[in-house]
Amino acid sequence: MANRALVISLSLIMQLSIYTVQDVDANINSDTADYSMNQEYSESYDQQTDILEFETENLITTDESLKNPEIEKIKTDIKQESKREIDPNKPMIALTYDDGPSKYTKEILDLLKENNSAATFFVLGSQASKYEETVKQMIENGNQIGNHSYDHKRLTLLNDEELYDQINKTDNLIYEIAMYRPFVMRPPYGSTTEALKEKIQKPIINWSIDTRDWESRNAETITKIICENVKDGDIILMHDLYESSLEASKTVIPELINRGYQLVTISELSESREIILRAGQTYYKIYK
Instruction: Specify the range with the lowest mean pLDDT, choosing from 12-26, 93-107, 243-257.
Output: 12-26
Output the pLDDT for position 168: 98
DSSP class per residue in 19-68: GS--PPPTT-----------HHHHHHHHHHHHHHHHHHTTPPPHHHHTT-
Averaged pLDDT for residues 279-287: 96
Largest Cα–Cα distance in the chain? 61
What lies within 8 Å, CB to CB, of 26 at 6+ separation is none
Query: pTM to 2 decimals?
Result: 0.75
Averaged pLDDT for residues 228-257: 98
Output the pLDDT for position 84: 82
- The 10s digit of each residue's pLDDT in 6-22 is 433 434 434 433 333 33
Averaged pLDDT for residues 53-62: 35
What residue ranges define each of the domains in the chain, with the CATH number in brackets? 39-72+90-283 (3.20.20.370)
Helix segments in the chain, DSSP class H: 2-16, 39-56, 62-65, 69-78, 105-114, 125-128, 132-140, 160-178, 194-200, 213-216, 219-229, 243-258, 266-272
User: What are φ and ψ of residue 94, in 5° steps?
Assistant: -110, 110
Residues assigned a catalytic role = 98, 239
pLDDT-derived band at 82 (thresholds 50, 70, 90) equals low
Buried b (16+ CB within 10 A) or exposed e, 90-109: ebbbbbbbbbbbbebbbebb
Yes or no: say if 84 and 142 are a contact pair by the CB < 8 Å rule: yes
- The 10s digit of each residue's pLDDT in 128-162 is 999 999 999 999 999 999 999 999 999 999 999 99
Q: Is 235 a residue whose pLDDT tops 60? A: yes
Buried b (16+ CB within 10 A) or exposed e, 131-150: beebbebbbeebbbbbbbbb
pLDDT-derived band at 80 (thresholds 50, 70, 90) equals low
